[in-house]
């Protein structure tokens, strides 16, 4: 029973593996050129799908968050703020306040970076959540 590449791709789409279906021809070509075993091929196939799903989930979460701009916490100029120290920023980036279910209130006059700080923490939280889920998936 020989199936065409298009039939295999359609079956992968039916199984909701659309990213893998689109990437299948290049995966097969790479597997043939490098003499992969079946197990190696399946590892690459599933890893590719999981990576793409992670990327899409991050994109989706960033879109849902509707941040006013994309500025990371690392781009925040701590040196220009007299009321915040680098240690305090690092503590905020650890997200222990989220684990303890505390609210974070950022106060200050206009133009000091409150929105940048909040957006940067939100972006970091999106990426950290995805990283934690990826680690949990590997450990199961």
One domain for residues 135 and 74: yes
**Spatial distance between the Cα atoms of 89 and 67, rounded to a whole number of angstroms:** 19
Contact call for residues 24 and 8 (beta carbons, < 8 A): yes
One domain for residues 49 and 91: no
CATH classification at residue 128:
3.40.50.300
At residue 56, the pLDDT reads 92
Low-confidence ranges of the chain (pLDDT < 50): 1
One domain for residues 46 and 75: no
One domain for residues 23 and 71: no
Considering only CA atoms, which of 119, 118, 114, 121 is closest in space to residue 94?
A: 121
One domain for residues 22 and 39: yes
One domain for residues 23 and 53: yes
**Spatial distance between the Cα atoms of 13 and 122, rounded to a whole number of angstroms:** 33
Q: Is the pTM of this model over 0.75?
A: no
At residue 97, the pLDDT reads 86
Range(s) of the domain holding residue 37 = 1-59
**Number of structural domains in the chain:** 2
One domain for residues 52 and 76: no
At residue 116, the pLDDT reads 93
Contact call for residues 78 and 89 (beta carbons, < 8 A): yes
At residue 134, the pLDDT reads 63
At residue 1, the pLDDT reads 44
One domain for residues 73 and 138: yes
Instruction: Give the C-alpha distances (Å, rounded to integers) separating 13 from 88, 91, 140.
Output: 47, 44, 26
pLDDT digits (tens, 9 = 90+) for 89-112: 999 999 888 888 889 999 988 988
Q: Which residues contact 77 (CB under 8 A, 6 or more apart)?
A: 113
């Amino acid at each position: 029973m020989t199936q065409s590449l298009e039939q295999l791709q359609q079956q992968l789409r039916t199984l909701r593996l659309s990213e893998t279906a689109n990437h299948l021809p290049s995966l097969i070509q790479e597997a043939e050129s490098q003499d992969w075993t079946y197990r190696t091929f399946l590892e690459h196939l599933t890893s590719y799908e999981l990576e793409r799903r992670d990327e899409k989930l991050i994109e989706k979460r960033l879109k849902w968050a509707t941040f006013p701009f994309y500025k990371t916490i690392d781009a925040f100029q701590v040196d220009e703020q007299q009321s915040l120290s680098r240690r305090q920023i690092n503590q905020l980036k650890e997200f222990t306040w989220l684990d303890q279910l505390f609210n974070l209130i950022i106060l200050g006059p206009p133009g000091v970076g409150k929105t940048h700080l909040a957006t940067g923490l939100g972006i970091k939280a999106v990426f950290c959540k995805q990283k934690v889920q990826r680690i949990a998936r590997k450990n199961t």
